């Protein structure tokens, strides 16, 4: 393991105010696909997800349910573990901010911040949005009120929900002192924030000037105590952001080697709603204590419900009655269809318009009619024409010219270039070139005719071997999206040893098929969906 390069990827840690939903699942699958892909190309991956358990929002949710905050968090945590397990999430760590490792790390952060002179005590007087756990100034609030023409109740400029007036003694972090260093960071690392339109958005925000932020609370107590000031608990975001470092050993001398090896993270994947925290506050916190900065923050868009008749995207919400739960999608097209649809049909950086109609269309076109159909036809023919086996392959067979070989040889590098840039839809398109070509090749070469002529057996071997070899390669490339289907396809070709390869490029070189080994037809991988 130690000789492999490290790749550390994280999801946001989700609030435990509700069970996992389509949005949090989307982000988590997005990271899972990257984690699986990076493992397949030889990285030693650490994939972290977890729960953000402190703060007023969680405390209030607990009170509403008549539980202590800890009881409430403990009661919801299993739902996250179960959903991620169902969705085939391959995380290798799961952090909860109420764990001792996080308490120790956050308290260490406080001491280092104080010793470096980046915090000071003052009092906060302004607005607070509990659902977003975010502070707003008087100016921001009145501007938003003016734009919305609201009177009386002040609403959150971001989410539109009622704000709370907060006046309390508080510690402040000197964020304003980091403006120039942040701008220099963005200039020197234009891909610090991805996609680039989000980078521009962040740069413009920072250019507009930064205010110091309040990082401790005194009006409630569900948070990590500030080690040197009784009555103060850590502001939930100051606590939450540190989780990424905690999980690889920040603040734990016993984990110094792990920390040196894993930190900084290569990718923090977050929704567009929380990029200021990740692209402004978090790097400034790390600069303040002299720690390395993450390489990329990738901001994904939001899932919206698409009205198939008007083509318009509408916000998903329980009150509009259009909220879709992960289980609804699983019931429609299984876990692998679910993963494939969200990862390849929604552009990760943009808002995605989802609909049942579109899900069914993508599933039937790509999975039932193309990929599933190819596997089923080719494996069936191999079983029928070669007595339940793959054809016997002569030495050097892979060097023979084949139209599929020409296509297969060029796709892996292109696929990798897209996967590295989180361009999952384009990566899938590259694989589908081979799937479609193979389906056409079946029609063009008409193996059923060739099989009737004993004098053409060499030709038949070449056709079936070409098809099975293409399937083998596609199974590997589709594995990050649909791990279980790919494993099943490889098992059917007696290639179980190749499952979970960490040498994708060499594994996908044309010629890896085993000759004369048992093939099983199995059930249809993706039965066609009817109606709806």
Check binding of 271 to ligand ME8 (CB under 6 A). Answer: yes
Give 210 or 354: the residue with its C-beta nearer to ligand ME8: 354
Q: State which of residues 9, 12, 136, 408 lies at the interface with ligand ME8 (CB under 6 A).
A: 12
**Residues whose CB falls within 8 Å of the CB of residue 513, separated by 6 or more in sequence, listed in order:** 390, 393, 465, 468, 469, 472, 493, 495
Smallest separation, CB 338 to ligand ME8 (Å): 14
Check binding of 61 to ligand ME8 (CB under 6 A). Answer: no
Smallest separation, CB 101 to ligand ME8 (Å): 15
Smallest separation, CB 213 to ligand ME8 (Å): 15
Q: State which of residues 8, 15, 80, 363 lies at the interface with ligand ME8 (CB under 6 A).
A: 15
Smallest separation, CB 104 to ligand ME8 (Å): 18
Is residue 309 left, alpha or beta, with left meaning phi > 0 and alpha meaning psi from -120 to 50?
A: alpha
Check binding of 270 to ligand ME8 (CB under 6 A). Answer: yes
SS (H, E, C) 257-285: HHHHHHCCCCEEEEEHHHHHHHHHHHHHH
Q: State which of residues 105, 202, 247, 274 lies at the interface with ligand ME8 (CB under 6 A).
A: 274
Q: Which stretch binds ligand ME8 (CB under 6 A): 18-26, 36-44, 469-477, 490-498?
A: 18-26
Task: From 370, 395, 394, 378, select the one nearest 466 (Cα to Cα).
Answer: 378
Point out which residues pair with 45 in neighbouring strands.
7
Give 288 or 379: the residue with its C-beta nearer to ligand ME8: 288
Give 51 or 427: the residue with its C-beta nearer to ligand ME8: 51
Smallest separation, CB 30 to ligand ME8 (Å): 8
Q: Write the DSSP assignment of 175-224 as a string of letters.
A: GGGGHHHHHHHHHH-TTSEESHHHHHHHHHHHHT----EE-EE-S---SP
Give 170 or 246: the residue with its C-beta nearer to ligand ME8: 246
Smallest separation, CB 328 to ligand ME8 (Å): 15
- Binding flags for ligand ME8, 291-330, as an x/- string (CB under 6 A): -----------xx------------x--------------
Smallest separation, CB 57 to ligand ME8 (Å): 9
Give 243 or 501: the residue with its C-beta nearer to ligand ME8: 243
Q: Which stretch binds ligand ME8 (CB under 6 A): 141-149, 199-207, 269-277, 391-399?
A: 269-277
Residue nearest to ligand ME8 (CB): 23
Give 273 or 429: the residue with its C-beta nearer to ligand ME8: 273
Check binding of 240 to ligand ME8 (CB under 6 A). Answer: yes
Check binding of 349 to ligand ME8 (CB under 6 A). Answer: no
Backbone angles phi, psi at 295, to 5 degrees: -80, -45
Task: From 28, 74, 46, 38, select the one nearest 255 (Cα to Cα).
Answer: 46
Helix axes 457-478, 483-492, angle to 10 degrees: 150
Q: Write the DSSP assignment of 418-431 as a string of letters.
A: HHHTT-HHHHHHHH
Determine the Cα–Cα distance for residues 278 and 286; give it in Å rounded to an integer: 11
Determine the Cα–Cα distance for residues 9 and 37; give it in Å rounded to an integer: 12
Determine the Cα–Cα distance for residues 502 and 233; give it in Å rounded to an integer: 44
Give 52 or 498: the residue with its C-beta nearer to ligand ME8: 52
Check binding of 87 to ligand ME8 (CB under 6 A). Answer: no
Smallest separation, CB 52 to ligand ME8 (Å): 3
Check binding of 354 to ligand ME8 (CB under 6 A). Answer: no
CB 299 within 8 Å of CB 193: yes
Q: Which stretch binds ligand ME8 (CB under 6 A): 9-17, 105-113, 215-223, 384-392?
A: 9-17
Q: State which of residues 8, 14, 238, 267 lies at the interface with ligand ME8 (CB under 6 A).
A: 14
Point out which residues pair with 299 in neighbouring strands.
270
Q: State which of residues 129, 194, 202, 241 lies at the interface with ligand ME8 (CB under 6 A).
A: 241
Q: State which of residues 43, 45, 52, 223 lies at the interface with ligand ME8 (CB under 6 A).
A: 52
Task: From 264, 255, 170, 259, select the one nearest 219 (Cα to Cα).
Answer: 170
Pairing mode of beta strands 134-136, 193-194? unpaired
CB 100 within 8 Å of CB 89: no
CB 271 within 8 Å of CB 298: no
Q: Say how far residue 67 (Cα) sits from the centre of its chain.
A: 32
Per-residue burial over 44-73, b if 16 or more Cβ lie within 10 Å, else e, is: bbbbbbbbbbbbbbbbbbbeeeeeebeebb
Smallest separation, CB 333 to ligand ME8 (Å): 19
Task: From 261, 277, 310, select the one nearest 193 (Cα to Cα).
Answer: 277
Check binding of 23 to ligand ME8 (CB under 6 A). Answer: yes
Q: Which stretch binds ligand ME8 (CB under 6 A): 20-28, 207-215, 443-451, 509-517?
A: 20-28
Check binding of 94 to ligand ME8 (CB under 6 A). Answer: no
Pairing mode of beta strands 44-52, 6-15? parallel
Smallest separation, CB 134 to ligand ME8 (Å): 10
Check binding of 27 to ligand ME8 (CB under 6 A). Answer: yes
CB 309 within 8 Å of CB 339: no
Tokens of 395: 């030495």
Smallest separation, CB 300 to ligand ME8 (Å): 6
Tokens of 263: 């930190």
Smallest separation, CB 11 to ligand ME8 (Å): 7
Residues listed for the chain: 532
Give 324 or 514: the residue with its C-beta nearer to ligand ME8: 324
Check binding of 338 to ligand ME8 (CB under 6 A). Answer: no
Task: From 158, 532, 87, select the one nearest 342 (Cα to Cα).
Answer: 87
Which residues of the chain form contacts with ligand ME8 (CB under 6 A)?
12-15, 23-24, 26-27, 52, 240-241, 243, 270-271, 273-274, 302-303, 316
């Amino acid at each position: 393991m130690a000789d492999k390069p490290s790749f550390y990827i994280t999801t946001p840690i989700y609030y435990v105010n509700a069970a996992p939903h389509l949005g949090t699942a989307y982000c988590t699958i997005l990271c899972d696909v990257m984690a699986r892909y990076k493992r397949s190309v030889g990285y030693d991956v650490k994939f972290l997800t977890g729960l953000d358990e402190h703060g007023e929002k969680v405390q209030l949710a607990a009170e509403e349910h008549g539980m202590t905050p800890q009881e409430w968090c403990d009661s919801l945590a299993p739902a996250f573990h179960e959903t991620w397990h169902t969705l085939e999430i391959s995380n290798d760590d799961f952090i909860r901010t109420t764990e001792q490792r996080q308490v120790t790390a956050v308290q260490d952060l406080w001491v280092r911040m104080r010793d470096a002179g980046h915090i000071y005590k003052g009092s906060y007087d302004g607005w607070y949005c509990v659902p977003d756990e975010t502070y707003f100034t008087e100016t921001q609030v009145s501007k938003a009120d003016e734009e919305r023409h609201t009177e009386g109740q002040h609403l959150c400029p971001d989410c539109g929900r009622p704000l709370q007036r907060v006046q309390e003694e508080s510690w402040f972090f000197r964020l304003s002192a980091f403006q120039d260093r942040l701008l220099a960071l963005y200039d020197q690392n234009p891909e610090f924030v991805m996609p680039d339109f989000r980078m521009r958005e962040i740069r413009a925000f920072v250019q507009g000037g930064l205010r110091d932020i309040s990082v401790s609370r005194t009006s409630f107590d569900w948070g990590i105590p500030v080690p040197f000031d009784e009555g103060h608990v850590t502001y939930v975001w100051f606590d939450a952001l540190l989780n990424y470092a905690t999980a690889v050993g920040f603040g734990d001398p016993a984990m110094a080697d792990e920390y040196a090896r894993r930190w900084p993270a290569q990718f923090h994947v977050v929704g567009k709603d929380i990029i200021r925290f990740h692209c402004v506050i978090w790097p400034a916190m790390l600069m303040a204590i002299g720690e390395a900065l993450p390489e990329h923050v990738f901001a994904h868009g939001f899932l919206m419900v698409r009205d198939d008749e008007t083509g318009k995207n509408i916000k998903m919400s329980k009150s509009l009655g259009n909220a879709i739960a992960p289980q609804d999608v699983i019931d429609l097209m299984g876990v692998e269809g679910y993963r494939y649809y969200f990862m390849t049909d929604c552009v990760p950086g943009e808002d995605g318009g989802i609909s049942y109609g579109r899900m069914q269309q993508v599933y039937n076109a790509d999975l039932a009619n193309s990929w599933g159909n190819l596997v089923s036809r080719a494996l069936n023919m191999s079983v029928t024409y070669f007595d339940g086996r793959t054809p016997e392959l002569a030495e050097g067979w892979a060097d023979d010219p084949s139209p599929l070989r020409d296509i297969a040889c060029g796709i892996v590098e292109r696929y990798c270039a897209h996967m590295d840039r989180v361009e999952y839809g384009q990566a899938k398109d590259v694989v589908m070139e081979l799937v479609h070509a193979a389906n056409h090749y079946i029609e063009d070469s008409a193996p059923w005719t060739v099989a009737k002529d004993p004098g053409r057996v060499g030709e038949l071997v070449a056709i079936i071997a070409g098809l099975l070899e293409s399937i083998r390669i596609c199974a590997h490339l589709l594995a990050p999206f649909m791990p279980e289907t790919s494993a099943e396809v490889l098992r059917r070709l007696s290639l179980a040893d190749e499952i979970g390869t960490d040498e994708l490029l060499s594994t996908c070189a044309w010629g890896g098929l085993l000759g004369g080994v048992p093939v099983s037809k199995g059930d249809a991988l993706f039965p066609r969906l009817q109606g709806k």
